[in-house]
Structure 1
Amino acid sequence: MSLLRNTVSALALALAVTAGSPQAKAEAWDIAKAAEPYKGTELHVIFLDRPGYRAIIKLLPEFEKATGIKINYEIVPYENTREKEVLNFNSQGDLSIALVDLVWIGEFAENGWIQPIDKFAGDASITDPNLNLKGFFPLLLDAFGTWGGVTYGLPFDNYSGLLFYNKCMLKDAGFDKPPQTWDELMNVYAPKLTNPEKKQYGYALQSLRGETQSADSFMRFLWPFGGSLLDKSFHSNLMSKESQEGLANRQKLMKDMPPGIVSWDHAEAVNGLAQGQVAMITEWSAFYPTLTDPKTSKIGDCLGVAPEPAGPAGRLPALGGFSLAVASQAPEAEQKAAWIFIQWATSEAIAKSYVEAGGVSGRMAVYDDPQVKATYTFVEPMVASWQKGVPEFRPRFPAWPAISEIIAEFGSKMMLGQLSVEEGSKEIGTRMETILQKEGYYDGKKKLLQ
């Protein structure tokens, strides 16, 4: 069945056109009726230039045709998204839907920029009777959409860290399977797969200064080694033996990574694997469509996907993603229209079409579909990581953006050899604790994780 036919089928279910279908539930949602009072409403949202957003954009025409609600989206680089949204909220701008990263939920909720879903979910005229919050992976709903026990957003564009690798390069080097541990990756696989003369490297870790450095590079080497950014008293834990071991191993891997890796963002890391320059990357599950698209990738059947390697503390993969939430600044009617869109975009009804278009749904049911499991090799390791995962992989508290900037600066200097691992850790710890002191994290009034 073509993508178009799948899309139309799923949307028809969402619009109650196929109420007699075996897939339909007891009470199908007449989304057209729900949207009738808001026909002509224009909603504004920020999207990223990533597969999950391109996927929902493909499906938008059917939503707009059925509801009469127009979605105006602006595509913004991830590194600029939070700042752009915060400026919009502070100036009472035009955003009607908030794109909320895992680590922004505390800041957005505590500033009152987003609405709890309870404001809308009790209104049957605008709420899908099959909303089914229990249908989301609990880890995702909690980490991406919930703060202080209150749910603000629904999971959208969800990621698990995975090991993507070139099976052919590994086979040529004498390996018949991917590394199971970080120790294997660092000390056995990466050195053997690196050949600077051929401009081929064993591993690439996206480490561009900014959130990519702090969250995707620096933090990735703490948890599997038993380390953490903070201890239970909110003080730096970077000087612990475990944290130091993880960061030292990141530094050790530099010799098997491409020159200039500190300037590589996600696109460069994915492209390095796609073009045969790099043998292994630890990247978000959302980049699977890019790596399987012959227009953007040469890797073809050589692509392998596995869980992130295990460290001394076990297999603790990165967790990332976003939720969509109703912006408090929007007029009342616009908020209700936004709620209708958010439910649709994250619904079980379109989950399969969304996945087939290149997105990663937060709905559990779609990954039980035999066709989905057979077609997308990333599903099994991704779902396994979501069954466990670490929601505190990056602290979700409001102080994170300021701390992220510090980690980005000194984490980059550590990788470049401008500071030792110990020196950089001490700088980050001192500056981080100064911020937390000012924000009241040492007087017992604030919690690290909600």
Structure 2
Amino acid sequence: MKKRITQGIQSRPLKHIAAVALLAASAAFTASGAQAWTLKEAAQPYSGTTIKAIFLDRPGYKAAQTLIPQFEKETGIKVRWEVIPYENTREKEVLNFVGGGDQDIVLVDVVWIGEFASNKWLVPIKKFTDDPKLADPSLNLQGFFPILLDSFGTWDKVTYGLPFDNYSGLMFYNKCMLKDAGFDAPPKTWDELLNTYAPKLTKGDKFAFALQSRRGETQSADSFMRVLWPNGGSLLDAKFKSNLMSPQSQAGLEYRQKLMKYMPPGIVDFDHAEAVNALAQGQVAMITEWSAFYPTLTDPSKSKIGNCLAITTEPRGAAGLKPALGGFSLAVNAKSNAKKQAASWLFIQWITSEAMAKPYLEAGGVPARTAVYKDAAVQDKYPFVKPMVESWQGGVPDYRPRFPEWPAVSEVIGEWGSKMMLGQVTVKEGAQTIGQKTEDILKKAGYYDGKKPLLK
């Protein structure tokens, strides 16, 4: 038998044998190269470098803070961060870019990436992934949920950042309050919530629902846009003209007005913290909030809801399941020096890696990696996982427009959306004003004369 095998090999053309040997050597070299790459060795040239970031006062960032000492010990790179309110983040980062500040890691909201990328404030990740000294062979960009990598990290087909602290809108509810009102399950539709559940759950100082609606990005994204999509509406149509006067958009905005009588007084000044706290303290029975707030609602020092907490997808509307999509990516500041850029990339690559996904989740963060959520133990331990994954698979990529002009449009919606809720203008008057002002902004930017493409 051994003789036959030997004869078979000898009978093959020498050229073929050489090709096989070369292929084997190449595979061995690739394997050894992949094994040789380590974070510690990659970081050696940058040991002692300090990089700076902006963080928010949210669970995902606190989770990162608990893990950073591990990165610092491994690399010798120091990570420093400043915690500021979300509403101030974009302005602070823009001032940093324009004024030549010292921020190295850029926090990029889904609606900021167009502005940041168009102004060349971010470094395309290709600069780092093409560098074998900096690129972790196990990076696996395909391991991110596509909707997250595309929406939060990519602009005009160029990837600038890796998804970090990403959320889907979910319904968190107090199953004990629902049971006491005669319900053994949450509402499946927005119509059920308003017409069947809300009247029975609103009594005295207890309310059915809280929709975070504070003027600013919370009003524009978390309140105003949230009621458009489930009803089949949208801010703009395919030609970037206002779609707010469509029957579907009007239905969504009218729905929000009807729901207000089942929400706490002062709801127009509720930010995320107030909405989450209202559920946590038993003031309201239901909220639609970001999946990232699960750790807050399960923290006994902050929440009284205890075992009464339950989670499901956002309700369905006439257009089906169209949940809110939110979150960020981490990117490298193009204005930082080369050493800080490399150190920043190593941190971003590490904190968003598949290897760190479970530690980040266990520390209170929400990773964007698909693999970690396939773990049955993870699904059992974290009840928000299944509805969140379902929502990410069927979410709205352009839940908020990602063009660079969104911040200006958001200010308009923040002002007039609040007036609408307060009854200072009618829904039609508010929608007409927002639509006109939005079109003025887009006209000035060049979308209607061919200077800018309509879709990204």
TM over 0.5: yes
Secondary structure at the counterpart of residue 160 of structure 1: strand
Q: Which amino acid aligns with 1:437?
A: K
Matched, 1:104 2:145: no
Matched, 1:175 2:186: no
What displacement does 1:448 show? 4.0
Give CA-to-partner distance per residue, 1:284-342, whole Å, 9 cap, x none: 00000000111111001100100000000011000000000000010011101111000
What displacement does 1:417 show? 0.5
Give CA-to-partner distance per residue, 1:338-372, whole Å, 9 cap, x none: 11000001000110010001000000000011221
Residue in 2 aligned with 1:22? none
Residue in 1 aligned with 2:416? 410
What is the TM-score of this pair, normalised by structure 1?
0.93
Secondary structure at the counterpart of residue 387 of structure 2: helix
Q: Which runs of 4+ in 1 moved over 4 A?
A: none
Q: Which amino acid aligns with 1:287?
A: F
Partners of 1:93 and 1:369 in 2: how far apart? 42
Q: Which amino acid aligns with 2:110?
A: L
Secondary structure at the counterpart of residue 53 of structure 1: helix
Residue in 2 aligned with 1:348? 354
Matched, 1:34 2:42: yes
Matched, 1:445 2:451: yes
Query: Aligned match of 2:167 in 155, 159, 170?
Result: 159
Partners of 2:393 and 2:52 in 1: how far apart? 33
Asked if the contact 2:321/2:394 (under 8 Å) is kept, the reply is no
Partners of 1:186 and 1:444 in 2: how far apart? 43
Matched, 1:434 2:435: no
CA RMSD of aligned residues (A): 1.0
What displacement does 1:440 show? 0.4
Q: Which amino acid aligns with 1:70?
A: K
Matched, 1:255 2:261: yes
What displacement does 1:445 show? 3.0
What displacement does 1:444 show? 2.5
Secondary structure at the counterpart of residue 350 of structure 1: helix
Query: Aligned match of 2:389 in 383, 390, 395?
Result: 383
Matched, 1:141 2:149: yes
Matched, 1:369 2:375: yes
Asked if the contact 2:163/2:352 (under 8 Å) is kept, the reply is yes
Provide structure 2 residue ranges, at least 5 long, that are not aligned to the other structure.
Answer: 1-32
Partners of 1:278 and 1:438 in 2: how far apart? 43
Select the structure of larger CA radius of gyration: 2
Matched, 1:203 2:227: no
Query: Aligned match of 1:295 in 298, 301, 318?
Result: 301
What displacement does 1:447 show? 3.0
Residue in 2 aligned with 1:10? none
Q: Residues 124, 260 of structure 1: CA spacing in aligned structure 2 closer, same or farther, 3 A cutoff?
A: same
Q: Residues 246, 28 of structure 1: CA spacing in aligned structure 2 closer, same or farther, 3 A cutoff?
A: farther
Q: Which amino acid aligns with 1:77?
A: P
Asked if the contact 1:286/1:360 (under 8 Å) is kept, the reply is yes
Partners of 1:111 and 1:93 in 2: how far apart? 16
Give CA-to-partner distance per residue, 1:161-186, whole Å, 9 cap, x none: 00000000000000000000000011
Partners of 1:190 and 1:346 in 2: how far apart? 40
Matched, 1:284 2:290: yes
Secondary structure at the counterpart of residue 268 of structure 1: helix
Partners of 2:255 and 2:450 in 1: how far apart? 34
Query: Aligned match of 2:98 in 90, 97, 100?
Result: 90
Partners of 1:48 and 1:127 in 2: how far apart? 27
Give CA-to-partner distance per residue, 1:33-63, whole Å, 9 cap, x none: 0000000110011000000000000001110
What displacement does 1:92 show? 1.1
Partners of 1:352 and 1:444 in 2: how far apart? 46
Asked if the contact 1:120/1:336 (under 8 Å) is kept, the reply is yes
What displacement does 1:382 show? 0.1
Residue in 2 aligned with 1:7? none
Residue in 2 aligned with 1:230? 236
Asked if the contact 1:191/1:256 (under 8 Å) is kept, the reply is yes
Would you tell me which structure has more helix in proportion to its own residues?
A: 2
Partners of 2:233 and 2:352 in 1: how far apart? 34
What is the TM-score of this pair, normalised by structure 2?
0.92
What displacement does 1:29 show? 4.5
Asked if the contact 1:29/1:130 (under 8 Å) is kept, the reply is no
Residue in 2 aligned with 1:425? 431
Asked if the contact 1:96/1:338 (under 8 Å) is kept, the reply is yes
Q: Which amino acid aligns with 2:340?
A: E
Task: Choose 440-449 or 406-415, whichever is displaced more.
Answer: 440-449
What displacement does 1:220 show? 0.2
Partners of 2:311 and 2:351 in 1: how far apart? 27
Asked if the contact 1:103/1:396 (under 8 Å) is kept, the reply is yes
Secondary structure at the counterpart of residue 329 of structure 1: coil
Asked if the contact 1:167/1:303 (under 8 Å) is kept, the reply is yes
Residue in 1 aligned with 2:192? 184
Q: Which amino acid aligns with 1:215?
A: A
Partners of 1:422 and 1:331 in 2: how far apart? 51
Asked if the contact 1:396/1:449 (under 8 Å) is kept, the reply is no
Aligned pairs for 1:120-135 within 5 A: 120-135=128-143
Asked if the contact 1:169/1:193 (under 8 Å) is kept, the reply is yes
Asked if the contact 1:28/1:130 (under 8 Å) is kept, the reply is no
Q: Which amino acid aligns with 2:41?
A: K
Aligned pairs for 1:392-411 within 5 A: 392-411=398-417
Residue in 2 aligned with 1:15? none
Q: Residues 240, 28 of structure 1: CA spacing in aligned structure 2 closer, same or farther, 3 A cutoff?
A: farther
Aligned pairs for 1:325-344 within 5 A: 325-344=331-350
Asked if the contact 2:34/2:137 (under 8 Å) is kept, the reply is no
Matched, 1:77 2:47: no
Partners of 1:245 and 1:352 in 2: how far apart? 41
Q: Residues 175, 337 of structure 1: CA spacing in aligned structure 2 closer, same or farther, 3 A cutoff?
A: same
Task: Choose 368-377 or 355-364, whichever is displaced more.
Answer: 368-377
Q: Which amino acid aligns with 1:281?
A: I
Residue in 2 aligned with 1:67? 75
Residue in 2 aligned with 1:14? none
Q: Which amino acid aligns with 2:65?
A: I
Q: Which amino acid aligns with 1:76?
A: I
Partners of 2:123 and 2:51 in 1: how far apart? 16
What displacement does 1:102 show? 0.3
